[in-house]
Structure 1
Amino acid sequence: MNYGTTRFITAIPMALAMILGNLDVYAQQESVVRRPGTSGRPLYNGILLPEVWPPENGDPYTSEPMPVPYLEHRPEVVPIDIGRQLFVDDFLIEQTDLDRVFHQAQKYAGNPVLPHVSLRHGGVFYDPVVRQFGMFYNDGGRGIGLAYSQDLKRWTPGANGNVVLPKGGANAFWLHTDGTAKRVFYAMRANRMDPRPKNDPDVPYINAIWQNTLRSSADGITWSEEIPLGRSNDYSSFFYNPFRGVWVYSLKHNVPRVGKEVYRSRYYAERADVSKVGGFDDAVFWVNADRLDKPHPEVGDTAQLYSLHGIAYESIILGAFQVHLGPANEICEETKEPKYTEYKLGYSRDGFHWHRPEREPFIRGTYRDGDWDKAFVNIPQGVCVVVGDSLWFPYGAYSGMDPDGKRGMYRGGSIGMAKLRRDGFASMEANGRGGTLLTRPVVFTGKHLFVNVDCPEGELRVEVLDQAGQVLKQFSAKTCRPIRMDRTLCSVAWESGADLSSLAGKPIRFRFHLTNGKLYAFWVSPDESGASYGYVGAGGPGFNGVIDDQGINAY
């Protein structure tokens, strides 16, 4: 969220490139933005887009995991100027004997933070203008509410009696800002078409009976008239990909998967202008739930992809997958119980292909009667915000029972929070032993190396190798000052100092020597503050927008 009004789309990457002294990378990126998929030039991380973009060869009928071409054919040298470099995959790793461990979010003990309301999409963000967190949510039968908070735990309803939009289909929200007082709120909603269209040759998808529309607002309270976007199933959404300067539409369509059964799937469309009027005839199949998404043992239904949001976090696009595990709506209506959905994660470095190595739920319902978050876990647009050392993840869930005792599939909704260490999706670990991790060749224009590490009972040392694999004596592990601490932002130095500017623009490798600890991320910053110049999700206190240009000053 929070990425600037449409006319500022290229301003942020341009400013970032100027700060990093890497205008050539920006020029390459800009050409990709102007002519998506046809330039063949590299992205910010060296990945080459194919000639046909978005890819049109996806198979909506398969249950196999999505292929990830950039992991099969990695760039020879990886530019790392933008963002903290995470270990969610092997993109940056040449060799290691450390163990990769994925981590789940921890639910806040004070949940729910907003009872008796719900998140069916909605949106969460940090508003740098009013210096508060904001959240759009469903206020029961009244409509869409907007609340603000200083700490994510206590929320205050906004103006207009807390209703800023009327009740309707699933609503998705986005706050777009360039880090100044100029900002735009966007609301995408689905309006059910009646009567239901049949045998419509212009609608290639089964059950595409919802018309998506877009509204904009300067304050989140007073909204423009609706602009038609195109048809899909309900529960579609959108997000901004700042690495390429395009808006991505995550479109829900139901397609046959097993025999004649119809399953929820995701299609992809992108636009340079979020408010472009038109249909989604150019949408391509994107991704399904697959055979690695195991059924719930008490239900047994095949997993389906109910919803998918994206957000730029540091050097990747973080994907929030809402995976449906049944029962069918008809059964839930009969039993008056909420359906089972779980919150899982995916990671993308090109904005389209998803790597999903961990299938344990990131956030799940308890499946216990009487619990506020028994089932039907929902994810808002914006996905996460950054607060110092932590990432916060709002989520909605349902108990199946309202305060008055009425039961139903969509009754008993409330909103809670979950936390994760910053960059804490995956760690490379050496527990009770020592190990190493050697990166592939990387190139940067900064001069200060930083790490996110947890090793107070061990130590971390780093050495630098040239492209041929020879250790540079002034940056050897022996001369590295050992790190023995638990910090999400920690500088690395050698006896010769901490300045790597003599290596700028040259392909080098880092080798991390870790004993009894966890390594979460590394990055090279132009600033002593440790600013990564990557993206910080839906923002957070201490940042002027959604780019980390503050480093330790935002902690």
Structure 2
Amino acid sequence: MSGFCGGAEPIDIGSRRELFVDDHLVERISGRARLRLHRPVETDDVFVHDTAWEGSRSMYHTVFRDGDRYRLYYRGSQIDLSAGKYAIPYNVTCYAESHDGIHWKRPELGLVEFGGSKKNNIILSGEICHAFVPFKDTNPDCPAEHRYKAIVAIYKPTRGLHVYSSADGIRWSPMSDKPVITTGYFDSMNLAFWDTVRGKYVGFHRALRGGPGMLKPPSHEASTKDVMTATSSNFLKWSEPDWLEYSPERWTRFSTGTTRFSPFVQLYTNQVQPYHRAPHIYVGFPTRYVAGRSKLTGLNRRLSESVEYFGVDYTDGGFMTSRDGRRFKFWDEAFIRPGRPVRGRWVYGDNFQALGLVETKSGETAGRRELSMYVGEGLWRQCRLRRYTLRLDGFVSVQAPLSGGEIVTRPLKFAGNRLELNVSTSAAGSVRVEIQDAEGQPLDGFRLSDCREIFGDRLDAVVGWTAGPDVGRLAGRAVRLRFVVRDADLFAYRFVPGR
């Protein structure tokens, strides 16, 4: 007995790569299989903010690959907490670049004077530099003079998001003299990008539930940090922003059990972006903001002397995903942890992940690529950027011990001749695949007993059955995939044309 009812409309995945970051394609998980969130591996500091125009408040980093180089944009800033003060003398926007995503340099641009000299990597200064967030526009209709775009919050005379453009990513000009979005709070890193799958610009920005003109949260909090989204066809006229929705629902799941409700986490930055190897899926790396805890270290106690919440609020990194840009699967465990207190990252403002995932050479496996992501630390002292790494597609896996477990998909249709898996097993472990009809009955030639065991560590392991790997005769037909996993991690799958 299959246990499935017929009639469900199959999901057409074509030859897209599918990740196990949500249950969109999952009908059933059984045995000892589970979906496991993987944390990235911490490596070294790759960029230290040690120039006169950077320092103790440098943050809001953006990284992206642009041809044969990597670009890095960030805020350069100092903060003065001496004698209990809280003063910010300046903000500037800075630029750095790299040939490999690991070793970075500051080009001497000669654009903006600082301290009597233009020998620096500053591209902008003034009110637009609180969080200047650029991207390279991949819209095929984008004119060359607007190839690079940016979204930035300006607070006077009207609080809102403004848009800028550039031909070279260095010299920027405003695209409008008025804000393009005014619903929100914007006092953090706001972002936008061109969505190649949906054919429109998509933006995500900071807002306060319970703030001026905002929806009241179901709690006694005056306001709660959260995220809104809007879309545009031309980057100048935007839809009215909507709140993100989350599963599981973030408001009620972590009640304190007292009359005062306190959300478990609030969201500071969002860092939502299409995942480049599966651009129909958005991945987000929000900074999780946890308020009102005790003072863990001496630094926390010193910060509280200036502003109380600086010493009792903490930040770390989260993970969430979406397929429509509004409803997000929110993982309730940290993606980036502060680590041991001696590392000094247990402080408000640290562990902010940069916007952008880039592929870099693996430091462990010759010829293999991996994901690099960058996380800020050292706020209030000397800010720096640390690189973390993760295997390609390695955010979440179907994982099971040697005793085994399995996952069965919903009915789907595909295009291609071969099935490839991103998989990592132990020496004793394996993954096998059965292809079933829409009702869950095994198809002749593609039964589990026909499948050759896959073992090892591959990004593109080809599934084979007794008759070979060719699945072309099933293309366009409603089928289910049954994955049986033993002491292994299965990260992603994809149907591809035969080679």
TM-score range, shorter chain: 0.7 to 0.9
Asked if structure 2 preserves the Cα contact closer than 8 Å seen for 1:174 and 1:382, the reply is: no
Distance 1:94 1:152 in 2: 39
Q: Residue 376 of structure 2 corresponds to which residue in structure 1?
A: 396
Q: CA RMSD in A?
A: 3.1
Distance 2:255 2:352 in 1: 19
Alignment of 1:541-552 (within 5 A): none
Asked if structure 2 preserves the Cα contact closer than 8 Å seen for 1:373 and 1:398, the reply is: no
Asked if structure 2 preserves the Cα contact closer than 8 Å seen for 1:367 and 1:375, the reply is: no
Correspondent of 2:36 among 91, 101, 123 = 101
Asked if structure 1 preserves the Cα contact closer than 8 Å seen for 2:15 and 2:414, the reply is: no
Distance 2:343 2:407 in 1: 46
One-letter amino acid matched to 1:316: I
Correspondent of 2:70 among 116, 128, 133 = 133
Asked if structure 2 preserves the Cα contact closer than 8 Å seen for 1:122 and 1:380, the reply is: yes
The answer to whether 1:284 aligns with 2:245 is no
How many residue pairs get aligned? The number is 420
Correspondent of 1:347 among 311, 316, 321 = 321
Distance 1:395 1:425 in 2: 16
Asked if structure 1 preserves the Cα contact closer than 8 Å seen for 2:59 and 2:76, the reply is: no
Q: CA deviation at 1:127?
A: 0.7
Per-residue CA deviation, residues 261-281 of structure 1 (Å, 9 max, x unaligned), is: 1222222221111133x7x7x
Distance 1:393 1:332 in 2: 33
| Structure 2 residue matching 1:502: 3-state secondary structure | helix
The answer to whether 1:311 aligns with 2:248 is no
Q: Which runs of 5+ in 2 are unaligned?
A: 1-6, 78-89, 110-119, 211-216, 257-261, 294-299, 362-367
One-letter amino acid matched to 1:360: E
Q: CA deviation at 1:484?
A: 1.5
Which stretch shows the higher mean deviation, 251-260 or 166-175? 251-260
Cα gap change, 1:521/1:75 in structure 2, threshold over 3 Å: closer, same or farther?
A: farther
Alignment of 1:102-121 (within 5 A): 102-108=37-43, 110-116=44-50, 117=54, 120-121=59-60
Q: Residue 104 of structure 2 corresponds to which residue in structure 1?
A: 155
| Structure 1 residue matching 2:324: 3-state secondary structure | coil
Q: CA deviation at 1:112?
A: 4.7
Q: Residue 10 of structure 2 corresponds to which residue in structure 1?
A: 77
One-letter amino acid matched to 2:47: V
Cα gap change, 1:366/1:517 in structure 2, threshold over 3 Å: closer, same or farther?
A: closer
One-letter amino acid matched to 2:220: G
Which stretch shows the higher mean deviation, 233-242 or 320-329? 320-329
Q: Residue 235 of structure 2 corresponds to which residue in structure 1?
A: 274
Cα gap change, 1:287/1:301 in structure 2, threshold over 3 Å: closer, same or farther?
A: closer
Per-residue CA deviation, residues 381-429 of structure 1 (Å, 9 max, x unaligned), is: 335546544221112123422xxxxxxxxxx322111112222221112
Distance 1:137 1:285 in 2: 27
Correspondent of 1:492 among 463, 467, 486 = 463
One-letter amino acid matched to 1:253: A
The answer to whether 1:507 aligns with 2:478 is yes
Per-residue CA deviation, residues 47-93 of structure 1 (Å, 9 max, x unaligned), is: xxxxxxxxxxxxxxxxxxxxxxxxxxx97311112532111222212
| Structure 1 residue matching 2:307: 3-state secondary structure | helix
Q: CA deviation at 1:447?
A: 1.4
The answer to whether 1:321 aligns with 2:282 is no
Which stretch shows the higher mean deviation, 316-325 or 232-241? 232-241
One-letter amino acid matched to 2:123: V
Which stretch shows the higher mean deviation, 384-393 or 218-227? 384-393
Distance 1:85 1:274 in 2: 29
Q: Residue 466 of structure 1 corresponds to which residue in structure 2?
A: 437
Asked if structure 1 preserves the Cα contact closer than 8 Å seen for 2:58 and 2:379, the reply is: no
TM-score, normalization by structure 2: 0.76
Q: Which has the larger radius of gyration?
A: 2
Q: CA deviation at 1:187?
A: 1.6
| Structure 2 residue matching 1:254: 3-state secondary structure | strand
Q: Residue 67 of structure 1 corresponds to which residue in structure 2?
A: none
Cα gap change, 1:273/1:339 in structure 2, threshold over 3 Å: closer, same or farther?
A: farther
Alignment of 1:195-344 (within 5 A): 210-227=159-176, 228=178, 229-231=180-182, 232-233=184-185, 234-235=187-188, 236-256=190-210, 257=217, 258-259=219-220, 261-276=222-237, 282-287=240-245, 290-292=251-253, 303-313=265-275, 314=278, 315-326=280-291, 331=304, 333-334=306-307, 337=311, 339-344=313-318
One-letter amino acid matched to 2:29: T
Structure 1 or 2: more strand by fraction: 2
Q: Which runs of 5+ in 1 are unaligned?
A: 1-73, 195-208, 402-411, 529-555
Which stretch shows the higher mean deviation, 451-460 or 112-121? 112-121
One-letter amino acid matched to 1:480: C
Distance 1:525 1:84 in 2: 9
Q: Residue 477 of structure 1 corresponds to which residue in structure 2?
A: 448
Alignment of 1:431-442 (within 5 A): 431-442=401-412
Distance 2:243 2:22 in 1: 24
One-letter amino acid matched to 2:197: F
Distance 1:508 1:302 in 2: 40
Q: CA deviation at 1:451?
A: 0.3
The answer to whether 1:525 aligns with 2:496 is yes
Distance 1:285 1:95 in 2: 30
One-letter amino acid matched to 2:16: G
Asked if structure 2 preserves the Cα contact closer than 8 Å seen for 1:452 and 1:487, the reply is: yes
Per-residue CA deviation, residues 203-227 of structure 1 (Å, 9 max, x unaligned), is: xxxxxx6232111112111112352
Asked if structure 1 preserves the Cα contact closer than 8 Å seen for 2:58 and 2:76, the reply is: no
Cα gap change, 1:106/1:84 in structure 2, threshold over 3 Å: closer, same or farther?
A: same
Q: CA deviation at 1:507?
A: 0.8
